[in-house]
Structure 1
Amino acid sequence: MLDDMERNCPEHTLPVLCDISQVDSFDNAWENIICKHSRIDLAIVCAGIGELNPKLDVETELSTLSVNVMGWANTVASIYRLFERQKSGHLVTITSVGGLQPTPIAPSYSASKAFQINYTKSLQNKTKGTDIIVTEIRPGLVDTRMAKGEGLFWVMPLDKVCRKIIKAIDKKQKRLIVTRRWRIINFALKHLI
């Protein structure tokens, strides 16, 4: 997909490979992006990992946290600081309804997604009086490699979720919980449990 974008729109596309859990890797990639595109209007941060880990293997927990908290926060903060210098920009974070309720089979995943939700809310409060927009996309289970486990329900088709995300970004919504079924779950977890 990125190859197609680069071929069709080379002046607006710069595919860069980096591991955000390695801060230097991201920082170097980010510097290259800024050198090529001095201004960025829209940045979508869709980075996260998660494994089922009921036995609490420490390496698995720390690996998840290094991407979903440390690397993610460095990435989001770097983008936000650029938008502050530009005095405008649209930052989109992809979090998860998994951040609303702790889960014993993937504790670092649910905890790290709670961190992302609250970090995004903090940035949204920080944007007041600026031309910076922060949108949080909070999906439920989507038919990707991240949907793991037995007996999963309400797994949403990727193309349907993508269409809704694109629409929310175009409208510059503050938050989108994808899809309607997951909005019900989100409400229940937030208000009833």
Structure 2
Amino acid sequence: MGTVRKNIIIIGATSGIGRALAGVFATEGHVVGITGRREALLREMVSERPASFHAATFDVTDTATSITHLETLAAAMGGVDTIVISAGGGDTNVALDFDIEQRMIDLNVQAFTQLSDWAFNYFKGRGRGHLAAITSVAGMRGSRQAPGYSASKAYQINYLQGLRQKACKERMDIWVTDICPGFVDTPMAKSPVRFWVAPVDKAARQIYRGLQKRRGVVYVTRRWGFVAWLYRLLPGWLHKRL
């Protein structure tokens, strides 16, 4: 049997993992709704695959309008089976500049929460669906270089756990996947120390396979699952000295 054709929305698809993942879904024969702030990049993607992509240009941090854009996009596609939240960002912030932290809170906490809630309730209304979001291994513990980023990713990880538990408790056919990367070769990877950096195309392919299997957590690459396990177990006295 071939791949079952599905309708997918990737929120934040103009670059990095989101764009690569949109390409994988399109190559596999799915219809993909792509969103982002940069209209020119979305138009470029649509021109390359007009039969595969539907685009909507908006800023997810504009919480007064973003849901309207998503509802319009979902309706234009005739309904959606899977929603992937790839919109996110982060910066190192050694100086603890609050403006930097505020931007991450607006994007990784406030916008993420609104998008997740909308997606979950959308699937609840349809009776089934799959919500996924890109978090980070950085969310396992606090970081002196990027305290706001690691904290916001911890929030996302726990929020997705809560939605997964809610779907199970209420016996809903809603699958929730935490896509948890280590270092991927994208402009987002700003840490001064990097290792096991995955090419973005390899990361997107692994994410696609994990989503097809409806896994609860997809570590990218798989070896980062071991790192995450060790990092969680790291004694507090040792973590403090890193």
Normalising by the residue count of structure 1, what TM-score does the alignment of the two structures yield? Answer: 0.92
- Three-state SS of the structure 1 residue aligned to 2:231 is helix
Distance 1:151 1:191, change over 3 A: closer
Q: 1:82 and 2:122 equivalent? A: yes
- Three-state SS of the structure 2 residue aligned to 1:15 is strand
**What is the letter of the counterpart of residue 138 of structure 2?**
G
In structure 1, C-alpha distance between the alignment counterparts of 2:161 and 2:48, rounded to whole Å: 31
Contact 2:46 2:54 in 1 (8 A): no
Query: What is the Cα deviation at residue 8 of structure 1?
Result: 2.3
In structure 2, C-alpha distance between the alignment counterparts of 1:134 and 1:44, rounded to whole Å: 10
**What is the letter of the counterpart of residue 86 of structure 1?**
R
Partner of 1:141: 183
In structure 2, C-alpha distance between the alignment counterparts of 1:88 and 1:149, rounded to whole Å: 38
Q: 1:62 and 2:105 equivalent? A: no
Partner of 1:35: 75
User: More deviation in 140-149 or 26-35?
Assistant: 26-35
Corresponding pairs, count = 190
Match of 1:16 among 56, 68, 89: 56
Structure 1 vs Structure 2: percent identity of aligned residues? 33
Match of 2:207 among 145, 153, 165: 165
In structure 2, C-alpha distance between the alignment counterparts of 1:101 and 1:5, rounded to whole Å: 40
**What is the letter of the counterpart of residue 7 of structure 1?**
P
- Three-state SS of the structure 2 residue aligned to 1:14 is strand
Partner of 1:109: 149
Q: 1:189 and 2:231 equivalent? A: yes
**What is the letter of the counterpart of residue 138 of structure 1?**
C
Query: What is the Cα deviation at residue 191 of structure 1?
Result: 2.2
User: More deviation in 20-29 or 105-114?
Assistant: 20-29
In structure 1, C-alpha distance between the alignment counterparts of 2:187 and 2:134, rounded to whole Å: 15
Q: 1:45 and 2:82 equivalent? A: no
Normalising by the residue count of structure 2, what TM-score does the alignment of the two structures yield? Answer: 0.74
Query: What is the Cα deviation at residue 189 of structure 1?
Result: 1.2
Contact 1:6 1:15 in 2 (8 A): no
Partner of 2:111: 71
Deviation sequence 1:101-152 (CA, Å, 0-9, x none): 1111111110000000000000100111211111111010100011113231
Query: What is the Cα deviation at residue 64 of structure 1?
Result: 0.7
In structure 2, C-alpha distance between the alignment counterparts of 1:4 and 1:160, rounded to whole Å: 24
In structure 1, C-alpha distance between the alignment counterparts of 2:49 and 2:60, rounded to whole Å: 22
In structure 1, C-alpha distance between the alignment counterparts of 2:57 and 2:194, rounded to whole Å: 31
In structure 1, C-alpha distance between the alignment counterparts of 2:104 and 2:125, rounded to whole Å: 31
Partner of 1:151: 193
**What is the letter of the counterpart of residue 77 of structure 1?**
D
In structure 1, C-alpha distance between the alignment counterparts of 2:221 and 2:94, rounded to whole Å: 28
* The structure with more strand, counted as a fraction of residues: 2
Detail structure 1 runs of 4+ shifted over 2 Å in the superposition.
none
- Three-state SS of the structure 1 residue aligned to 2:50 is helix
Unaligned runs of 5+ in 2: 1-22, 24-44, 236-242
Partner of 1:7: 50
Deviation sequence 1:11-57 (CA, Å, 0-9, x none): xx321121111102312212312332342111111111101110011
